[in-house]
Amino acid sequence: MNRRSALKNLSLVLGTSALPNWAYQWNTQSFTALHGPNTDLLGSIVNAIIPETDSPGAKTIGAHLYIERMVKDCMSLEEQKAFQNGLQKVSNTAKQSYQKTFPQLSTQEQISLLTSLQNSSIPEESQFFKRLKGLTLASYMSSEYFLTQHRNYTMAPGFFHGCVPVQ
């Protein structure tokens, strides 16, 4: 067996075992009641990170709702506050630099704003973007769409036969 693929598969299994139960095979209907004050802003940001092409983008599959749920359920109060402050920083920077809200910016303006956050010398800004980008990728790659369309994932690939003679 190839050692690299074995380590990659092991890390994937260990990484997904740390997720809460609702995070497995999620879809947009899983989060219908969750809409916070920054839902639209977060949707625009994740759409800039994974835009829509011939396959659905991060916003289309509901990655922003997944991220809101992860922040709410899995982060401490100070981490939640830091995340909300990061979203406010994105909103304020868009208003100061372009006199528009982040969702109203062109795609190129959104990308340049997010790139400036990523390359920022202020640790809080770069850490916020790194966490947001990681959550976006995790949400996209654990979505029902990605798992069924790109990973050939089935919930129960085999059958269980409980009463069989042991030889």
pLDDT tens digit sequence for 97-145: 999 999 999 999 999 999 999 999 999 999 999 999 999 999 999 888 8
Residue from 154, 41, 57, 162 nearest 102 by CA: 41
Does the pLDDT of residue 31 top 70, yes or no?
no
Task: Report the candidate in 85, 45, 86, 89 with the shortest Cα–Cα distance to residue 63.
Answer: 45
Domain ranges of the chain: 45-149
Q: Are 118 and 126 in contact (CB under 8 A)?
A: yes
Global pTM value = 0.70
pLDDT average, residue stretch 37-49 = 91
More confident residue, 150 or 122: 122
User: 65: buried, middle or exposed (CB in 10 Å: 19+, 13-18, 0-12)?
Assistant: buried
